[in-house]
Amino acid sequence: MKKGVRLGVILPVLLIVLALLFAYSLVVGAAGIEISKTLQILFTGRVYHATPAFSAAQHTIIWNLRLPRTLMALLVGSVLAVGGMVYQALFRNPMADPYVLGISSGAAFGVALGAYVGFLSGATGMWEVPAAAFGGSLLASLLIILLSGGTRRSQTTLLLTGIALNFFLSALMTLLMYLNRSQLQAIMQWTMGSFSSGSWDKVAILAVVSLITIGPLVLYTKELDILLLNEDAALSLGVSVKKVRLILLLLSTFGISVTVAFSGVIGFVGLMVPHIFRLITGPKHKNLLLLSLVGGPIITLASDIIAKTAVSPSELPVGVITALAGTPLFFILLVQYRRNR
């Protein structure tokens, strides 16, 4: 099959899978609500009107708990997958991922530090949290570039730098947790990842951030393809490498930081999704961007469903589910890299 045919076949299938997971995410939970009743609740709107078809509690569960949680998982998945795609192009490394490189840990550390110094007013500020996360993730990105010697260095140097930065930031977060025990639960949530705190305010902010982060990337798919070449070749094709890298780094880091601020550290989504689709449809970023927008939410929604049902009525952290799925793929990539060497 040709690459274009593959895209035309796989995209409708992915959309169907995404729709099914979205519907199932609204139905599954501690309170059993049938799909027919869920549809009735959705069609009535956010304002509850007394009816024998369903109770006020069921209406509240769907509209104020499950629907914003599901939408939040969808938006986070899109941003993480697209962010991973951008990082892999910027660093010319198929193993580059916001979690592996320590970008997500940087965002979590920024939030933890902001809570410790009182910047977040008890870690409840709706805009202060993303600001602190963005500062931490941007600092982590700059440290990765400086300590690894830039994007021209080997994959091994880049990965080792990211792993070392991850350990360092984790140690600092552990120290903050020890010094600020009143914020222990909130910091623990950021380190493990969860969509249980989903709300309409967070969905609205994430929707705006998704447009700001992903929208401009439509105009840079050609530049992302060129960045896979060496820097001299990119310059000969008229691409301002430094300018493009800075813009893409800021956009992706901004999106990643806000998702971490609201959902915690959810790793390996940015590694798994672009790499899988790159194997299927090729390295063209015009296709990868479209597929990542759909594939990312599939991973996060499926992980959230497993997190809600695996040990019901308790919940597992979503970050644990994605790590269990992504770690084997990371080892496979390492083995492939070693063989290529």
Q: What is the pLDDT of residue 36?
A: 87
Q: What is the pLDDT of residues 18-48, one digit of tens each?
A: 999 999 999 988 777 888 889 999 998 888 8
Q: What is the pLDDT of residue 132?
A: 85
In terms of C-beta distances under 8 Å and separation of at least 24 residues, what long-range contacts does 222-226 make, across chains too? 222/285, 222/286, 223/248, 224/85, 224/86, 224/89, 224/248, 224/285, 225/283, 225/284, 225/285
- Cβ–Cβ under 8 Å, residues 69 and 195: yes
Q: What is the pLDDT of residues 192-204, one digit of tens each?
A: 888 988 899 999 9
Confidence band (pLDDT; 50, 70, 90) for 64?
Answer: very high
Confidence band (pLDDT; 50, 70, 90) for 150?
Answer: low
Q: For residue 43, report the phi and psi dihedrals to the nearest 5 degrees.
A: -70, -25
Q: How confident is the model over 273-285, as a mean pLDDT?
A: 88
Q: What is the pLDDT of residue 122?
A: 47
Q: What is the pLDDT of residue 285?
A: 92
Q: What is the pLDDT of residues 159-212, one digit of tens each?
A: 778 888 888 988 888 888 778 776 666 667 667 888 988 899 999 999 999 999
Q: How confident is the model over 95-109, as a mean pLDDT?
A: 83
Answer yes or no: is pLDDT of 124 > 60. Answer: no
Of 123 and 260, the structure prediction assigns the larger pLDDT to 260
Of 1 and 228, the structure prediction assigns the larger pLDDT to 228
Q: How many domains, in total, are found in the chain?
A: 1
Maximum distance among all Cα pairs of the chain, rounded to whole angstroms: 70
Q: How confident is the model over 281-290, as a mean pLDDT?
A: 90
Q: Domain of 146?
A: 3-340
CATH number at residue 318: 1.10.3470.10
Answer yes or no: is pLDDT of 1 > 50. Answer: no
Answer yes or no: is pLDDT of 53 > 90. Answer: no
Answer yes or no: is pLDDT of 4 > 60. Answer: no
DSSP string, 233-270: HHHHTT--HHHHHHHHHHHHHHHHHHHHHHH----SHH
C-alpha–C-alpha distance, residues 313 and 5, integer Å: 44
Answer yes or no: is pLDDT of 155 > 80. Answer: no
- Cβ–Cβ under 8 Å, residues 193 and 319: yes
User: How many residues are present in the chain?
Assistant: 341
